[in-house]
Amino acid sequence: MQRKQQRRGAHARRKAVTAYAQDLAYVHDAGFSDYALGASPWLLRTLRRQGIREGLIVDLGCGSGRLAQELNHAGYDCLGIDQSAAMLRLARKVAPKSRFRRSSVFEANLPRCSAVLATGEILNYRFAGARSSSAALRRLFRRVHAALEPGGAFIFDIATPARAPKDGPRIYWKEGPDWSIYASTTTASRDELIRSMTVFRKVGDLYRRSEEVHRLRLYRAEDVVKALETCGFQVSIAGSYGSFRIPLGMAVFAARRA
SS (H, E, C) 122-145: HHHECCCCCCCCHHHHHHHHHHHH
Cα gap 82→60, rounded to integer Å: 7
Beta strands in 40-109 (DSSP E): 56-60, 77-82, 99-102
- Per 3-state DSSP, the chain is made up of helix, strand and coil in percentages (nearest 5) of 35, 35, 30
Report pLDDT digits (tens) over 183-200. 999 998 889 999 999 999
Cα gap 144→253, rounded to integer Å: 14
User: What is the pTM (predicted TM-score) of this model?
Assistant: 0.91
Q: Could you tell me where in the chain the CATH 2.20.25.110 domains are found?
A: 170-214
Instruction: Beginning with the edge strand found earlier in the chain, give each strand of the sheet holding 99-102 in spatial order.
Output: 99-102, 77-82, 56-60, 113-118, 148-159, 250-257, 233-238
**Which one is the CATH code of 170-214: 2.60.450.10, 2.20.25.110, 3.80.10.10, 2.60.40.420?**
2.20.25.110
Note down pLDDT in tens along the chain; length 258 residues.
444 444 444 443 334 445 899 999 999 999 999 999 999 999 999 999 999 999 999 999 999 999 999 999 999 999 999 999 999 999 999 999 999 999 999 999 999 999 999 999 999 999 765 567 899 999 999 999 999 999 999 999 999 999 999 888 999 999 999 999 999 999 988 899 999 999 999 999 999 999 999 999 999 999 999 999 999 999 999 999 999 999 999 999 999 998
What's the length of the chain? 258
CA–chain centroid gap for 185, Å, is 17
3-class DSSP state of 204: coil
The mean pLDDT of the chain is 92
Query: How much is the pLDDT for 19?
Result: 85
Q: Between β-strands 240-241 and 244-245, what pairing exists: parallel, antiparallel or unpaired?
A: antiparallel
Query: How much is the pLDDT for 190?
Result: 84
Are 157 and 120 in contact by the 8 Å Cβ rule? The answer is: yes
Classify domain 18-161+218-257 by CATH architecture: 3-Layer(aba) Sandwich (3.40)
Please list, in sequence order, all residues whose beta carbon lies within 8 angstroms of the beta carbon of residue 238, skipping any fewer than 6 positions away: 251, 252, 254
Q: Could you tell me where in the chain the CATH 3.40.50.150 domains are found?
A: 18-161+218-257
Please list, in sequence order, all residues whose beta carbon lies within 8 angstroms of the beta carbon of residue 185, skipping any fewer than 6 positions away: 164, 165, 169, 170, 171, 172, 193, 194, 195, 196
